[in-house]
Structure 1
Amino acid sequence: MARTVKVAAAQVGAVHLDADRKETVDRLVALLREAAAQKVQLVVFPECTLTTFFPRYLFESQEELDMYFEHGEDVTTSEHVKSLAEEARKHNIDFVLGYAERTTEGTGYNTCIYYSATEGKVVSKYRKVHLPGTKEPFEDPDAINQLEKRYFEPGNLGFQAFRVPGLVSNALKKDSAGADENNAGKGDPILGMLICNDRRWPEAWRVYSLQGVELIVFGFNTGSNMAHLWGSKPMSSEQAEAEALFHSRLVQQANSYMNACFSISSARCGFDDGKFDLIAGSAICNPEGHLLAEAKTKGDELVVAEIDLSECRQGKEKTFDFARHRRIETYGLVVTQTGVVELPLL
């Protein structure tokens, strides 16, 4: 039974430190309208879409820092985002949006939400778990900093998969499902959300996969040359960008295959403030690990593909039939030990 959905990664180019929030959102609305013209049903925007990637900067003023956060429980009702939600409802397009969240308690999170046009509301929220970088800036004044650990707390919502209504017309519903039938892969699509660095951690994908996930979506802001952050060997800017793109593709393709799911990645990319270069590479990947579509530019661009979620079944039922092949009695270290403990010397 085909379960087709037309999806898109809405890649967003350079957004500078002094960018006007309304103008940035207008760019997102333009991408949504382009998606509507192509009859796209789901659009995935990048991590921290509404502003430049501010964790590169050291802010001494809390008031200045808070300008880059969205405040309040429902971001789609904020003055900055409500026009995007209205446009989505108008065209019946779901979207995923990444942003910096400041809770009513004052805690900062790197967050994304899934907005359902069918429901007219946010149906799921995710907060980034794997925060890279440091709390303090590097001593080298020429280093590119990554201060997420300073401005955000690790996400506290876990990896909770969710079903999305309205994307698949022939989805099986609870009230019409037979009690004794195998209903796997017949209902509304099962989705999971990640953010940027989360995509590099296989544990996150596997937790979603154990909930039957069929599509994982994530946005990212990834520097093309982050030598201080990664401790990588010296290389030219061209080599560094190629390496960053290779690893971004690698983790998306490998994890999509190992978890028999589709994935959509969306980049905030380009040359911010004349000195910060971010990779592009927004892509849509199938459950066999093949890229169906990939960005061709480093600017605002819609990357579109039609996916058939029934293609997840081969991997879930054959190659990676977890119920038959997983051996959880051997995996204890994964959940009992955090850092590496080397074996004793010979």
Structure 2
Amino acid sequence: MTRKTLPVALIQEKAIIDQGRGNAEANLSIIEARVAEAAARGARLVLLQELHNGAYFCQHESVAEFDLAEPIPGPSTERLGKLAKRHGVVLVSSLFERRAPGLYHNTAVVFEKDGSTLGKYRKMHIPDDPGFYEKFYFTPGDLGFKPIDTSVGRLGVLVCWDQWYPEAARLMALAGAELLLYPTAIGWDPSDEQAEKNRQRDAWILSHRGHAVANGLPVLSCNRVGHEPSPLASDKHAGAAGIQFWGNSHVLGPQGEFIAEAGGDAEILSAEIDLDRSEHVRRIWPFLRDRRIDAYGDLLKRYID
């Protein structure tokens, strides 16, 4: 290994669903087994997928789903912290946070290898599309784009829909992030034509490659797999066919190159990242040096009329 080679693992899983709802106990048990296996392979950083405790419940709008939320710290953070300590890994999780009555967030939590909680990131960009009704559940994050310092490096943790916004990746990079991480839940409508499915998946991967190139940083994205039926299946409108999560979790280098890529099935994706490469790449492609920060004021506008 080079001086700063970092072994990582992404846990790409199919959610266990019980009577249409997520089974947190069953899913956390699987996560425990997968993290143990990842650590046995040598991983020092493990990334989990978005909302890994259960089904992707945002396919419909139902106040009953708020019962799935929990405080941070809470039962899941206690269990995940112990898991990180047991295997000596830095662990990045994704939880449905109950901050206060009527106030909920989509929150990533980072645990140190000693089990302590190092920080959290609340998802900033919240979608509202057929099958992805997240605005009903999640308040946009208010913690900003601040990397979290860990024993394996400074992590720029973002969540799913954030991946389409170059501003988010850039702000994490400007704050000193050494890696960009995206817990993700993205898939296609099974009724779409294959060509459309391919375009969507390819655009998703391309967005991450762009973030890697533009910022000279490795990017890790961990997605769900498997078909999850919609609670609206009896209706005849967009999203009623459920979501086929396409997997394809990946680890990219600072020039957008593939270090590792998963397929469409559950698996542990292992890779080694050479953190020294970011310094080298930024010397030959000095994008941060050449930014015209004096000319970007209009980025604060919604639209330039």
TM-score in terms of structure 2 length: 0.89
Determine if contact 2:298/2:304 at 8 Å carries over to the other structure: no
1-side partners of 2:43 and 2:173: how far apart?
25
- CA root-mean-square deviation: 1.9
SS in 1 for 2:187: coil
Deviation at 1:82, TM superposition (A): 3.4
Q: Higher strand proportion, which one?
A: 2
Work out whether 1:332 is the aligned partner of 2:282. Answer: no
Q: Which runs of 5+ in 2 are unaligned?
A: 231-241
Specify the alignment match of 1:185 in structure 2.
Answer: none
SS in 1 for 2:220: strand
Deviation at 1:23, TM superposition (A): 0.5
Residues 180-195 of structure 1 mapped to structure 2, 5 A cutoff: 189-195=153-159
Specify the alignment match of 1:68 in structure 2.
Answer: 68
Residues 43-192 of structure 1 mapped to structure 2, 5 A cutoff: 43-59=46-62, 62=63, 64-70=64-70, 72-75=71-74, 78=75, 80-118=76-114, 120-133=115-128, 144-165=130-151, 167=152, 189-192=153-156
2-side partners of 1:223 and 1:273: how far apart?
12
AA matched with 2:48: F
Decide which of 16, 27, 31 is 1:28's aligned counterpart: 31
TM-score in terms of structure 1 length: 0.79
The structure-2 alpha-carbon separation of the partners of 1:254 and 1:131, relative to structure 1 and needing over 3 Å to count, comes to same
Specify the alignment match of 2:252 in structure 1.
Answer: 285
1-side partners of 2:9 and 2:131: how far apart?
31
1:284-326 residue CA offsets vs partner (Å, 9 max, x unmatched): 0000101111112322x1111111111000233331252x311
Specify the alignment match of 2:162 in structure 1.
Answer: 198
Specify the alignment match of 2:45 in structure 1.
Answer: 42
AA matched with 2:201: L
SS in 1 for 2:169: helix
2-side partners of 1:19 and 1:152: how far apart?
18
1:38-65 residue CA offsets vs partner (Å, 9 max, x unmatched): 0100110011111211111121xx3x22
- The 4+ residue runs of structure 1 with deviation greater than 6 A are none
The structure-2 alpha-carbon separation of the partners of 1:273 and 1:311, relative to structure 1 and needing over 3 Å to count, comes to same
Specify the alignment match of 1:261 in structure 2.
Answer: 217
1:121-147 residue CA offsets vs partner (Å, 9 max, x unmatched): 11110011111115xxxxxxxxx4321
Equivalenced residue count is 291
Task: Indicate the structure (1 or 2) with the bigger Cα radius of gyration.
Answer: 1
Decide which of 3, 18, 38 is 2:21's aligned counterpart: 18
SS in 1 for 2:128: coil
Deviation at 1:105, TM superposition (A): 4.7
Specify the alignment match of 2:6 in structure 1.
Answer: 5
Determine if contact 2:225/2:264 at 8 Å carries over to the other structure: no
2-side partners of 1:101 and 1:192: how far apart?
19
Instruction: Report sequence identity in percent.
Output: 26
